[in-house]
Chain A
Amino acid sequence: MEINLLTLCYLLGSVSFIVGLKMLSHPDTARKGNWVAAAGMAIAILGTIFLYSKDGVKLANYGWIFGGLAVGTIAGTLAAKKVKMTSMPEMVSLFNGMGGACAALISIIEFQHLTHPMLVQDNMYAAAGSLDGATLLIIFAGLIIGTISFAGSMIAWGKLNGSVKDLAFNGQQIANNILLLAIIGVAAYLTYNISITNYYWFYFITAAAVLYGVLFVLPIGGADMPVVISLLNSFTGVAAACGGFLYDNQVMLTGGILVGAAGTLLTILMCKAMNRSLMNVLLGSFGITAKGEQQAITGSFKEISISDAAVCMSYATKVMIVPGYGLAVAQAQHICHELEQLLEEKGVEVKYAIHPVAGRMPGHMNVLLAEADVNYDSLLEMEDANNEFKTTDVVLILGANDVVNPAAKTDPASPIYGMPILEVEQAKTVIVNKRSMKPGYAGIENALFFQPKTSMLFGDAKAALQKLVAEIKAI
């Protein structure tokens, strides 16, 4: 029996992925868990490079392999180190797309490899036997899933950084489904009837899968991208597992399937946090379908000046800050922390109320505020925050809208009806910082802004906070 250390490497790799994921889902061990998984990955990769052999032949082309690893490592580290905290979701999407593309490229090479004898002998019958249906099926699966994940992730990336706009046309869902069926149909046909006259349809499938990935993500709104990225993340996991099947490689198989399953569950958990179903997100119906009989909102809103807001907050006993998307966009987390410290020095109790889906991703606000050194203990989750609003004097809302819209509780016709919200209207005074009266992502008016206890402080979150800080210092 040939003794092979590689088996041990793969075993260590697989176990480390499981342990790593487990540790990643607990706050205390998360950071270590990430490194456990990374160490397992390193063992598996190095093991493959130096120990892998097939039929007694070791790997060749070390120059190319190490060159690729070096380029990828340098570019990856630089990109990951330089990216701003607010652009994190984009980065994850981009890396996910890279993985998907990698899986697709593997399938392309393997396909060429498999069909090569057929082309050289110029005789489809001579070579047909060398093609194994199961292998071909896996190659197609890896190609299609990997390509969709790649194209979808690129669109998601573009949407998050604002370079790609939402696009939906009538019958888009039907067109998408027909396209997907066509892809699967052609792939299935080729699997059993491949020959020299039709093998090039493989490239048609590749192109169609790119198109499908694009059309799949295009109609989905920018604020739902986290869910989409999470879903594409699990797609890439499955594509990686296809590679594991192809090479009978256990670490790729376990790693891929693990991420596929965990990613799917995570996607569902994210949807639950927004009180929506996955289908609802994917159909992109938010703000499009729910029209008509919503309660009309009438009345006027009042503005508050910076100095009034400053006085109001300085003499309060308890201030609750509700950060939202606007804070993330304006990169206002540091100045926000400064305001908090300033108020605390004046003896005001300051806390943050974090809605589960505030910002661009679940948990995004926590990451942002932690970056600005905000104490972890002053971040309240939704339920705790809702218990404290009754005793709060001033609520300062920074660029959040839908997560504080009372229509979610009171108006059954509203598209966000049923979503859990921060019940800020229980506090004595509410100050809302927004850039304009424009509706939030869900495209609906917010009755909160028209309530007598609410005043509006218009302007960019960062600029407004800077003025506020200066004003409070002067008091």
Chain B
Amino acid sequence: MNTFLAFLQEHIQIIYIVILSIFLGIEVIGRVPSVLHTPLMSGANAIHGVVIIGAIIVMGQVSSDDIPALIIGFLAVVLGTLNVVGGFVVTDRMLEMFKKKK
């Protein structure tokens, strides 16, 4: 119990962020029309590419003679970038189709 409370106290800011973000995530897309389900999913897919930041930090802290870690880190950066860039471009292509014709 004490360890749990200590953990809670130490990370209370993060825990607040998590809880509020959960509600926000649900509220923010609450009334999306079914037409937009696919683009929205694709857009959300691009946003979780934010994991790339973790890959960059890891990469930047690896000592430059640790080749295996450098290779794994490099791979992580490539994959993360694919997720971000590909995700946003694909979403844009989908949404481009929706623009009203005049």
Contact = CB atoms under 8 A, between A and B. Distances in A.
Interface of A: 13, 17-18, 20-22, 24-27, 30-31, 33-35, 37-38, 41, 44-45, 48-49, 52, 54, 58-62, 64-65, 67-69, 71-73, 75-77, 79-81, 83, 85, 88-89, 91-92, 94-96, 98-99, 101-103, 105-106, 108-110, 112-113, 134, 226, 229-230, 233-234, 236-237, 239-241, 243-266, 269-270, 273, 356, 361-364, 366-367, 370-371, 373, 375-376, 381
Contacts of A250: 17
A60 B64 contact: yes
B22 A371 contact: no
B58 A65 contact: no
A20 B23 CA distance: 16
Contact of B57 (A59, A102, A367): A59
B23 to A, nearest CB: 7
A59 B22 CA distance: 31
Contacts of B93: 80-81
B97 A69 contact: no
A265 B45 CA distance: 14
Contacts of B56: 45, 48-49, 52, 59, 65
Interface string B66-88: 00011011111111111111111
Contact of A99 (B35, B37, B41, B51): B51
The residue in B25, B55, B95 that gathers the most chain A C-beta atoms within 10 A of its C-beta is: B25
B78 A71 contact: yes
Contacts of A96: 45, 48, 83
A107 B91 CA distance: 28
Interface residues of B, number: 79
A92 B90 contact: yes
Contacts of B41: 92, 226, 229-230, 233, 263, 266, 361
Describe A's contact surface by its main secondary structure: helix
9 contacts: A20-B43, A69-B77, A75-B78, A109-B76, A236-B45, A258-B25, A262-B28, A366-B35, A366-B98
Given A21-B29, A249-B53, A76 B81 contact: yes
Given A72-B80, A251-B50, 12 more contacts: A21-B40, A24-B32, A34-B88, A61-B59, A76-B87, A79-B82, A95-B46, A99-B80, A103-B51, A103-B54, A237-B44, A363-B35
Given A31-B92, A44-B53, A102-B79, A254 B21 contact: yes
Contact of A21 (B28, B57, B75): B28
B25 A260 contact: yes
B1 to A, nearest CB: 15
CB-CB nearest 9 A-B residue pairs: A72-B81, A59-B60, A261-B25, A68-B77, A76-B86, A243-B54, A370-B97, A76-B85, A80-B89
A48 B60 CA distance: 10
B48 A363 contact: no
A249 B1 CA distance: 27
Given A60-B61, A92-B90, A371-B97, A257 B70 contact: no
B9 interface: no
B48 A261 contact: no
B102 to A, nearest CB: 11
A333 B48 CA distance: 32
Contacts of B99: 31
Given A30-B39, A102-B76, A59 B61 contact: yes
A245 B14 contact: yes
Contacts of B69: 109, 112-113
A66 to B, nearest CB: 9
Nearest to B69: A109
Interface string B2-34: 000001000100100110011111101111111
Contacts of B37: 266, 269-270, 273, 361-363
A266 B14 CA distance: 24
A451 B99 CA distance: 39
A190 to B, nearest CB: 17
A237 B24 contact: no
A106 B36 contact: no
B50 A255 contact: yes
A106 B54 contact: yes
Contact of B53 (A27, A252, A361): A252
Given A262-B25, A356-B34, A254 B17 contact: yes
A365 to B, nearest CB: 9
